[in-house]
């Protein structure tokens, strides 16, 4: 038995010194000292020893156990230390290296203009209303006082999905949807994408952006409309901006007008931006037609309202001096990164 223990001790020593990883050490510990390990196996034979031999072998077995335990401990520490050093070496970071430049996203000019316009109207007490881009013909036309035979309903101009479903050609249907579910006073703007069957060129695109505004309450007049749009023009184009209203026709407003602003590029003297007229047309507006109010369930005897709609793309082009509408949709980074 003494021989067996000495042999075990020697073999364990050799194997522990050869171990290269913490897992190897652990499996050696189990192999020699575990409950079913080799040392335990040998000690099972203690019963057959004489009473004189037992304490001697017992002492030797304890010494062997202690020796193996210490060796494992030492080896484990050494391996852990080596691994740590190796990691430090591998994961060394050179803090003097120049950093990688991060590219920050830019807001698209359309988004910039939309955000600015929203900010101004929210400041005037408006809230934002949204509606679907795939719209019922009813909301896009009928409810906006544009009957079946009206030229604006020309099949050539509108993307029809079925005979009564289409891609909205204007943000005005949101007016009707808002009036149907809200009681006056109403003060909303609704910015969004609209679609028309236009060929793509420098000033036309089959998809573009509009913003609609609607105010309905008792005693709303054309004076309120002019007041609100004046404030908007001054805030957006600058304090010295003047406005001018020209009579116009829209089926869903009566009376209707187009609003021009004094040219922000030349101050009204006349330049290339304003076509040498000193004025730039920016939006259409008017008093909500009594038929439109009635169809949306609002009593035109009690309430009046005004509405306006402006082209976001056109305003972005004016503001940033962009001469080709297509640039706004092509996502050319050289262009977009300038904003
Ligand atoms: Zn000008």
Residue given tokens 């805030």 in the structure block: 235
What pLDDT is attached to residue 155? 61
Answer yes or no: is 193 within a domain: yes
One domain for residues 150 and 258 = yes
Predicted confidence at residue 52, as pLDDT, reads 85
Taking the centre of ligand 1 as the mean of its atom positions, its distance from the CA of residue 300, in whole angstroms, is 40
User: CA–CA separation, 182 vs 186, rounded Å?
Assistant: 7
- Residue 249 CA to ligand 1 center (angstroms) comes to 26
Residues with CB under 5 A from ligand 1 (ion): 263, 265-266, 271, 273-274
User: 286 CA to middle of ligand 1, Å?
Assistant: 26
Which value, in Å, is the radius of gyration of the alpha carbons in the chain?
42
pLDDT digits (tens, 9 = 90+) for 70-97: 999 999 999 899 888 888 888 888 888 8
Same domain, 275 and 321: yes
Give 262 Cα–ligand 1 centroid separation in angstroms. Answer: 8
Q: What distance in angstroms lies between residue 115's CA and the mean position of ligand 1's atoms?
A: 25
Last residue of some domain: 58, 90, 122?
Answer: 90
98 assigned to some structural domain: no
Instruction: Indicate whether 49 and 154 sit together in one domain.
Output: no
Tell me what pLDDT residue 232 has: 95
Q: Give domain status of residue 326, yes or no.
A: yes
Q: What is the pLDDT of residue 114?
A: 95
- How far is ligand 1, taken at its centre, from the CA of residue 321, in Å? 12
Q: Last residue of some domain: 35, 55, 90?
A: 90
20 plus 127 within the same structural domain: no
Would you state the pLDDT for residue 195? 94
Q: Looking at residue 151, which CATH number applies to its domain?
A: 3.30.930.10
Residue 96 lies in a domain: no
Spatial separation of the C-alpha atoms in residues 253 and 250, rounded to whole Å = 6
Q: What is the DSSP letter of 101?
A: P
56 plus 115 within the same structural domain: no
Return the pLDDT at 152. Answer: 67
121 with 59, same domain?
no
State how many domains the chain has.
2
Confidence at residue 44, expressed as pLDDT on a 0 to 100 scale: 82
Coil/strand/helix, residue 322 = coil
Give every CB contact of residue 283 below 8 A, 6+ residues apart in sequence.
Answer: 229, 258, 259, 308, 309, 310, 311
- Judge if 216 and 83 occupy the same domain: no
CB 211 within 8 A of CB 172: no
CA of 235 to the centre of ligand 1 (A): 18
φ/ψ of 116, rounded to 5, equals: -65, -45
Residue 145 and residue 198 in one domain: yes
Q: Does residue 97 lie within any of the structural domains?
A: no
CB 301 within 8 A of CB 247: no
Q: Which runs of consecutive H residues, i.e. helices, occur in the chain?
A: 2-18, 22-33, 38-43, 53-90, 109-123, 137-140, 173-181, 222-237, 290-295, 312-320, 327-330, 333-336
- 209 and 278 belong to one structural domain: yes
For 278, left (φ over 0), alpha (ψ -120 to 50), or beta?
A: left
pLDDT recorded at residue 241: 92
Q: How far does the centroid of ligand 1 lie from the alpha carbon of residue 232, in Å?
A: 19
Residue 254 marked in a binding site: yes
User: CA triplet 239, 243, 245: central angle to 5 degrees?
Assistant: 165
Residue 249 CA to residue 179 CA, distance in Å, equals 22
| Structural domain harbouring 10 | 2-90
- Asked whether the beta carbons of 193 and 211 are under 8 A apart, the reply is no
| Confidence at residue 130, expressed as pLDDT on a 0 to 100 scale | 92
Same domain for 56 and 203, yes or no, is: no
User: Parallel, antiparallel, or unpaired: how do β-strands 253-262 and 127-128 relate?
Assistant: unpaired
Overall size of the chain counted in residues: 339
Residues 247 and 279 in one domain: yes
What are the φ and ψ backbone dihedral angles of 40, each rounded to 5 degrees?
A: -60, -45
Whether residue 325 lies inside any domain: the answer is yes
Q: 161 to each of 71, 151, 168, 212, how far by Cα in Å? A: 82, 19, 11, 23
87: which residues sit within 8 A by CB, 6+ positions away? none
Low-confidence residues of the chain: pLDDT under 70? 152, 155-156
pTM of the model: 0.68
User: 123 and 191: one domain?
Assistant: yes
Domain end: 46, 62, 90, which one?
90
Report whether the peptide linkage leading into residue 255 is cis, meaning its omega lies within 30 degrees of zero.
Answer: yes
Residue 214's nearest CA partner among 314, 116, 299, 129 is 129
pLDDT given for residue 333 in this prediction? 86
Give domain status of residue 306, yes or no. yes
Confirm whether 228 is domain-assigned: yes
Cα of 280 vs centre of ligand 1, distance in Å, is 8
Compute, in degrees rounded to 10, the torsion defined by CA atoms 263, 269, 275, 279.
40
pLDDT of residue 133: 95
């Amino acid at each position: 038995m003494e021989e067996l223990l000495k042999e075990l001790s020697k073999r364990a020593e050799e194997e522990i010194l050869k171990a290269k990883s913490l897992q190897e050490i652990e499996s050696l510990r189990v192999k020699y000292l575990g409950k079913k390990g080799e040392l335990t196996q040998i000690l099972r034979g203690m019963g057959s020893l004489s009473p004189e031999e037992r304490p001697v072998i017992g002492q030797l077995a304890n010494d062997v156990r202690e020796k193996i335990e210490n060796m494992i401990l030492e080896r484990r520490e050494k391996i852990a230390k080596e691994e740590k050093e190796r990691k430090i070496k591998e994961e060394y970071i050179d803090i003097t290296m120049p950093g990688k430049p991060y590219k920050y996203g830019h807001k698209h000019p359309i988004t910039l203009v939309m955000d600015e316009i929203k900010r101004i109207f929210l400041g005037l007490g408006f809230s934002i209303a949204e509606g679907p881009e795939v719209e019922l013909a009813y909301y896009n036309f009928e409810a906006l006082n544009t009957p079946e035979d009206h030229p604006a309903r020309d099949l050539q101009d509108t993307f029809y999905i079925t005979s009564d479903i289409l891609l909205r050609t204007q943000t005005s249907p949101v007016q009707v949807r808002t009036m149907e579910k809200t009681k006056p006073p109403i003060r909303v703007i609704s910015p969004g994408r609209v679609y028309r069957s236009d060929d793509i060129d420098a000033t036309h695109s089959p998809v573009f952006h509009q913003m609609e505004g609607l105010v309905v309450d008792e005693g709303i007049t054309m004076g309120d409309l002019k007041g609100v749009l004046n404030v908007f023009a001054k805030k957006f184009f600058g304090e010295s901006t003047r406005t001018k209203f020209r009579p116009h026709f829209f089926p869903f407003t009566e009376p209707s007008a187009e609003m021009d602003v004094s040219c922000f590029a030349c101050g009204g003297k006349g330049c290339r931006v304003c076509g040498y007229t000193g004025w730039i047309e920016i939006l259409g507006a008017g008093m909500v037609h009594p038929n439109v109010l009635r169809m949306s369930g609002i009593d035109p005897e009690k309430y009046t309202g005004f509405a306006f709609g402006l082209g976001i793309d056109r305003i972005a082009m004016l503001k940033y001096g962009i001469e080709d509408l297509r640039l706004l949709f092509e996502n050319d980074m050289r262009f977009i990164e300038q904003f």
